[in-house]
Chains A and B, each alone.
Chain A
Amino acid sequence: MSEMPSDLKYSKTHEWAKDEGDATVTVGITDHAQGLLGDLVFVELPEPGTAVERGGECAVVESVKAASDVYSPVSGEVTEVNTTLVDAPETVNEDAFGEGWLFKVRMSDASELDGLLDADGYAESLEAEDD
């Protein structure tokens, strides 16, 4: 099992969210998710300014194998997207928890973060998936 950063929050649908402390979160997919997908070849990102719902589809990551929706872990407004992924989607494979981030959201309800899993909780949900 790959290392799960303890400063991040996680969703059961394999997104991570990092609280930037200024009411925004950075969102990506987990290392586990990129491993399942295989080599990414295309990332479709939302436009900055897009309103997103918690659990709503807001990006697509496509690997050689399949296309997969990315769900926003929090509600709010997209403030920034990782445009480097347009030319280098493999960055998500290489550094899912860092350089491979997807987009940032200004939260409309910061308490939604409390509803997400911590690293241990996400690790447990992965084990449950394997069973």
Chain B
Amino acid sequence: MGLRTPLYDAHLAAGAKMVPFGDWDMPLHYGSQIEEHHAVRRAAGMFDVSHMRILDLAGARTRDFLRHLLANDVAKLKIPGKALYSCMLNETGGVIDDLIVYFLADHRFRLVVNAGAAVKDLAWVRRHAGDFEVAVTPRDDLAMIAVQGPTARALTLPLLRESLRAHAEGLKPFHAVWDGDWMVARTGYTGEDGFEAMLPSAEVPAFWDALRQAALRPCGLGARDTLRLEAGMNLYGSDMDEQTSPLEAGLGWTLAWEPVERRFIGRETLEARRRQGGLRAFIGLVLLERGVLRDHQKVYDRDIEVGDITSGGFSPTMERGIALARVNGDIGERVQVAIRGRRLAAKVVRPPFVRHGEVLVG
């Protein structure tokens, strides 16, 4: 039996098919993954993401610590409540995890990390925090719900307490507000508008019920994956890992090279790799024939193997196979993907595939 979020019983009551996900038992879907996907693109869905781990950092040198620990630069976070997406790298420039860091107040930051990497993340953060006298507190007392979709914010706002509501209403993307242990951020992993709410575990079942009453559809990990894939968002462990450089995972935009004197962990190796050249490209693929692209399928350009799919699936919005892939050097506009012994034509595109309900690739 896996770990259970505080919403485990609520999932069973809603007819969830539960599956092991890392150390956790999580809902895969509540009947139809595709209908859940469409609900988020067209209206509003919600996800229990309480398996993600929240780490609170405190100490006078927390900002300096994070400027050393993270490949993106928290110096960009000037106003409390601002959030930043970043990779946390090892010394050789591989990705330990990708995360969101929130600037809470002077000397206080919050990290939200992936469930599957949480144990090693905590060990890594603690290992380096000592040098900066930063206290690391895992917030296992908090749960997290993502409400996503074009109507998600409007449906959720009336359910927030007065003290949060007004501020949450005016939130810009990638900003957060909080009141006590309740925090609402305008972030997500679907390519749609929405909130991610962190709140005390004891209060989350009632909040989930209220959201259900407000017509937010419970969505499982299955829809979460097809939505993030359409949105061109990386999945840790598939699209990048400790052996993969962010430079070869479409994450170059998250690396803050300036100022040059900021020596974040992994910087030296990445600089060397960049100078060296010959980096593999991270691309999007749209299958031109019927079928489904899957992780690890081989990609060919004019009969030469050029790489593989790092995460693939079926896009319910486009009704086509789509994928993210890592390939060698320059390739054409068309490639082939090996599926069960056949080579099917795919078009090379620049992710994202879908954002805010609209298909962005031809």
A residues neighboring B (CB under 8 Å): 38-39, 41-42, 44, 60, 62, 64-65, 67, 86, 90
- For window 28-51 of B, CB contacts with A under 8 Å fall at 28-29, 32-34
Instruction: Determine whether the beta carbon of A38 is less than 8 Å from that of B292.
Output: no
Mask: chain B, 1-40; 1 = CB below 8 Å from A; 0 = not: 0000000000000000100000000001100111000000
Having A62-B314, A67-B340, one finds 11 other A-B pairs with CB under 8 Å, namely: A41-B292, A41-B319, A42-B292, A42-B314, A44-B291, A64-B34, A64-B226, A64-B314, A65-B28, A65-B33, A90-B34
- Smallest CB separation, A99 vs chain B (Å): 18
**In B87-104, which residues have CB < 8 Å from any A CB?**
none
**B34's contact among A39, A42, A60, by CB below 8 Å, is which?**
A39
Q: Interface SS of chain B: helix, strand, loop or mixed?
A: mixed
The interface centre, meaning the residue of B222, B314, B316 with most chain A CB atoms within 10 A of its CB, is B314
Bound: A64/B230 CA distance, A? 13
B188 interface hit (Cβ, 8 Å): no
Q: Is B290 an interface residue (CB 8 A)?
A: yes
Per-residue CB contact flags for chain B residues 327-362 toward chain A (1 = under 8 Å, else 0) read 000000000000010000000000000000000000
Once the chains bind, are B291 and A38 in contact (CB under 8 Å)? no
- Let me know if A38 and B33 touch, CB within 8 A: yes
In the complex, chain A residues whose CB is within 8 Å of the CB of B321:
42
List chain A residues, Cβ under 8 A from B291.
42, 44, 62
From known contacts A38-B28, A38-B222, infer whether A64 and B33 are also in contact, taking CB-CB under 8 Å: yes
List 30 interface pairs A-B (beta carbons < 8 Å), by A numbering: A38-B17, A38-B28, A38-B32, A38-B33, A39-B32, A39-B33, A41-B34, A41-B292, A41-B314, A41-B316, A41-B319, A42-B291, A42-B292, A42-B314, A42-B321, A44-B291, A44-B340, A62-B291, A62-B314, A64-B33, A64-B34, A64-B226, A64-B314, A64-B316, A65-B28, A65-B33, A67-B292, A67-B340, A86-B290, A90-B34
Contact of B294 among A44, A67, A90 (CB under 8 A): A67
- Which residue of A is nearest B17, CB measured? A38
CB distance from A74 to the nearest CB of B (A): 23
Give A66's nearest chain B residue, CB to CB: B294
CA of A86 to CA of B17, assembled, Å = 27
A41 to B226, CA, bound (A): 13
Compute how far the CA of A86 lies from the CA of B291 in the bound complex, rounded to whole angstroms: 10
Query: Are A60 and B340 in touch, CB under 8 angstroms?
Result: yes
CA distance A62 to B314 in the complex (A): 10
Residues on the A chain within 8 Å of B294, using CB: 67
Residue of B nearest to A41 (CB): B314
List B contacts of A90 (CB < 8 A).
34
Q: Does B200 lie at the interface of the complex (its beta carbon under 8 Å from any beta carbon of A)?
A: no
Provide the bound-state CA to CA distance between A101 and B17, in Å. Answer: 25
Q: State in angstroms the CA–CA spacing of A39 and B315 once bound together.
A: 12
Does B59 have its Cβ within 8 Å of any Cβ on chain A? Answer: no
Give the complex CA separation of A62 and B320 in angstroms: 12
Complex Cα spacing A60 to B313, Å? 16
Q: Quick check: A62 and B34 within 8 Å, CB to CB?
A: no
Identify which of B33, B226, B292 gathers the most chain A CB atoms within 10 Å of its CB.
Answer: B292
**B29: contacting residue among A38, A41, A60, CB under 8 A:** A38
Q: How far is the CA of A126 from the CA of B340 in the complex (A)?
A: 28
Q: In whole angstroms, what is the CA distance A42 to B34 when docked?
A: 13
> Distance (Å) between the CB of B295 and the closest chain A CB?
11
Residue of B nearest to A36 (CB): B17
Distance A39 CA – B28 CA, assembled complex (angstroms): 12
Complex CA gap A39/B17 in Å reads: 13
Question: Which of B17, B32, B34, B316 has the largest count of A CB atoms less than 10 A from its CB?
Answer: B34
CB distance from A65 to the nearest CB of B (A): 7
Q: In the complex the two chains form, what is the Cα distance from A97 to B313 in whole Å? A: 27
- B residues in contact with A60, CB < 8 Å: 340
